[in-house]
């Protein structure tokens, strides 16, 4: 069962995107604003209706007897305990099971640290065979790799370079992964960079962070090229496959961005 109770407000200390510092509007906002020329005004009325329903529900809850409120608190506490126990079971499995099927692919790994000394996690979308891999083992490997890292601040760089539909996991699976991971994963994530995004990734990212993962929405930044990352991560700390740099040079050319280290 998917637990949706662990969505929190975004932290105020999320990093400023190197791309945002150029004075351009957010790629997520651009993608949300322009859906193949379709204005998102049609979404506005739906969101307003949802907000009104939430307010009505809140009024109804406030009219309930106090015993009902206490029962809700107890229920949420039990769910939190169950959520933690589930994660701990997955962590124990991750530490003992053979996960070479996933680790051998090389799509997820730590690559140095950023300019503030925070671990950088790299995910190469093209190398993730979402349709031909045991997704449960993929989740276990994710937990095994990240659990010791997320005790402190960290950043993720996702490279969407040359991916195809065979590399896209289902939204159901993404939502389940997000709900399984404890709060420390969201809280200590300081930036999630998406490099070489497409219109599809911009729209799906906007939708996912708006309706499923609002806790990390302010931390997600879409970057058109690898060199934009150098404001936050020095080149010698970013180990990425050759196909990514080759695509980047073919698409953007050489020395197209002069990185300015972020002050965050």
Q: Which of 82, 109, 117 is nearest to 233 (CA)?
A: 117
User: Is the pLDDT reported for residue 148 higher than 90?
Assistant: yes
Q: What is the pLDDT of residues 107-127, one digit of tens each?
A: 999 999 999 999 999 999 999
pLDDT at 261: 64
Q: What is the pLDDT of residues 40-95, one digit of tens each?
A: 444 444 445 554 554 455 455 444 444 454 554 455 566 678 889 999 999 999 99
pLDDT at 11: 46
Q: How far apart (Å, rounded) are the C-alpha atoms in residues 52 and 25? A: 29
Q: What is the mean pLDDT of residues 95-105?
A: 96
Q: Is the pTM of this model over 0.85?
A: no
Q: Does residue 27 or residue 23 have the better pLDDT?
A: 27
- Listed by start position, the domains of the chain span 93-249
Mention every residue, 6+ apart, whose C-beta is less than 8 A from residue 103. Answer: 141
pLDDT at 72: 46
Q: In the chain, pLDDT over 90 holds for what percent of residues?
A: 58
Q: What is the pLDDT of residues 201-251, one digit of tens each?
A: 999 899 889 988 898 999 999 999 999 999 999 999 999 999 999 999 999
Q: Tell me, letter by letter, the H, E, C secondary structure of 156-207.
A: EEEECCCCCHHHCCCHHHHHHHHHHCCHHHHHHEEEEEEECCCHHHHHHHHH
CATH class of 93-249: alpha beta
């Amino acid at each position: 069962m998917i637990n949706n109770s662990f969505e929190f407000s975004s932290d105020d200390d999320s990093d400023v995107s190197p791309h945002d510092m150029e004075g351009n509007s957010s790629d997520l906002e651009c993608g949300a604003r322009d859906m193949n020329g379709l204005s998102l005004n049609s979404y506005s009325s739906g969101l307003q209706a949802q907000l009104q329903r939430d307010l009505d529900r809140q009024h109804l809850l406030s009219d309930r007897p106090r015993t009902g409120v206490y029962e809700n608190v107890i229920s949420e506490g039990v769910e939190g305990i169950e959520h933690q126990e589930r994660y701990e079971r997955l962590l124990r499995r991750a530490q003992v099971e053979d996960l070479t099927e996933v680790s051998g692919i090389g799509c997820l790994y730590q690559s140095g640290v950023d300019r503030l000394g925070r671990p950088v996690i790299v995910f190469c979308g093209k190398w993730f065979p979402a349709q031909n891999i045991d997704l449960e083992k993929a989740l276990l490997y994710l937990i095994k790799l990240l659990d010791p890292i997320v005790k402190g601040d960290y950043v993720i760089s996702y490279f969407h370079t040359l991916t195809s539909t065979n590399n896209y996991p289902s939204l159901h699976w993404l939502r389940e992964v997000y709900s399984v991971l404890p709060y420390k994963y969201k809280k200590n994530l300081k930036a999630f960079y998406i490099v070489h995004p497409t219109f599809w990734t911009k729209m799906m990212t906007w939708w996912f962070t708006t309706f499923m993962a609002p806790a990390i929405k302010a931390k997600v930044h879409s970057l058109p090229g690898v060199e934009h990352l150098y404001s936050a991560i020095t080149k010698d700390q970013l180990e990425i496959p050759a196909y990514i740099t080759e695509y980047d040079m073919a698409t953007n050319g050489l020395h197209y961005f002069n990185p300015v280290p972020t002050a965050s």
